[in-house]
Amino acid sequence: MQKLAIMNEKGGVGKSALATQLSFYAALKRNLKVLVIDLDQQCNTSKCIENSGLFHVAEITAGALLLNGDSFSASDKPTLIKGDKLLSRLESMGPEKAKEVIGNFYRALSALNPHYDLCVIDTNPSPDVRAMAALCIANYAISPVQLNQEAIDGVVQLYENIRRVSVYNPELTFMGLLPNMVLNTPFQRANFRDLMQSFGQILLKDGNGRFLSIPHRTAVSEAQSECRPVWTGEKSTALKTWTEIKGVFEAILEKMKMAEQDQGEAL
Residue 11 confidence (pLDDT): 62
pTM of the model: 0.89
Residue 117 confidence (pLDDT): 96
Are 108 and 144 contacting, i.e. CB atoms less than 8 angstroms apart? no
Q: Which residues of the chain have pLDDT under 50?
A: 260, 262-267
Residue 264 confidence (pLDDT): 47
Phi first, then psi: give them for residue 44, nearest 5 degrees: -65, -40
Degrees (nearest 5) of the Cα angle 162, 198, 209?
A: 80
